[in-house]
A and B are shown apart, each in its own frame.
Chain A
Amino acid sequence: MRRAVAIAGAAAAVAAALAAPAHAASAGPPTWREAWIARVVAPVVAHRRPGRGRIVARIQTQAPWNGGPVGLLVLAARGRWLKVLLPQRPNGTSGWIARTRTVVRATRWRITISLAGRRVRLLRNGKTMASSSAVIGKPSTPTPRGRFAVAERVPQPDPHGFLGPWALLLTAHSDVLYDFGGGPGTIAIHGRDGASLLDPLGSAASHGCIRVPNGFVRLLARHAVEGTPVDID
């Protein structure tokens, strides 16, 4: 006699919220229209190479700052291994993780930030759905350039505080600030309120973060889930 017992460890509601199973097998590098997000559902180790090599990171299932979900941008896929962008220094660090410890879904959302234009765009299917002028880092504390991703969406305890109602923490870190505001120099897209309203939109006045109007950051928080690509140039 052979008997099997299977226990589904998470709710249908959560699975449904994350699922894009029809596409999951074809996960690969981000394109202009589509990207893949690996939602980490069990602790996993990231290696330098698929299944071997130096350990780059030990990834837990809850994001370190606020305990939200961990969604990682997929950069490549090989068999049962996924190369993902990691939210750590140096910027752009990636590692290979086991696909079985993740749920992979597609996203058609993307954020682009033009430092020259001081403008943030929210795109879907490669088309701009909304855009806003922004405050970027000042010359002494510049906003880093590169490909990043949303690491955590954090509703702020005081929506009328300096960061406004939401902060979208990115995988990016400041190249000059290693400890700031109680954190490790994490770059974020956040709202504006209180003293941050003194710096007008379109200026280069922040410590590296990207400040946008509160209505716009709410829009970003609604659509740009953890793992959504963010391109800064």
Chain B
Amino acid sequence: LTFSSAPGAVLRGRTACWRIAKLAGHHARSFTIHARADNVSRVRRIRNRATAKGSNTRRVAARARIAIIPAAPRGGGVTG
């Protein structure tokens, strides 16, 4: 997967990071990533990971697995 967009995030390699000053109790903030899957020659199973941490709370994380399915390859296009 690669980033298509991650508004407001600081990108560093494969990590997008948002830093927020404060968040009231029982409130939520959402962050959006648009990702693109590379074309692959065979099925690849990968796992995304999200982590949230704060100075006064414990670190929490979530993971999700997805499978990247090959698309039909495009032939030709070279001098042969």
Residues of A within 8 A of B (CB): 1-15, 40-43, 61-62, 65-69, 100-103, 137, 141, 153-158, 161-163, 167, 169, 174, 177, 180-183, 185-188, 190, 196, 206-209
Contacts and interface: CB of A to CB of B under 8 A. Distances in A.
A67 to B, nearest CB: 4
A183 B80 CA distance: 11
Interface of B: 1-4, 6, 9, 11-23, 29, 31, 33, 35-36, 38-41, 44-57, 66, 71-80
21 contacts: A3-B20, A3-B52, A5-B17, A6-B15, A6-B17, A8-B15, A8-B49, A11-B47, A11-B66, A12-B47, A13-B44, A14-B14, A61-B36, A62-B2, A66-B39, A100-B13, A154-B74, A156-B75, A181-B80, A208-B79, A209-B80
A162 B12 CA distance: 42
A5 B78 contact: no
Contacts, number: 197
B75 A10 contact: no
Contacts of A12: 46-47, 49
Nearest to B53: A4
A221 to B, nearest CB: 8
A14 B40 CA distance: 12
Contacts of B36: 61-62
B29 A41 contact: no
Nearest to A166: B41
Contacts of B51: 5-8
A8 B50 contact: yes
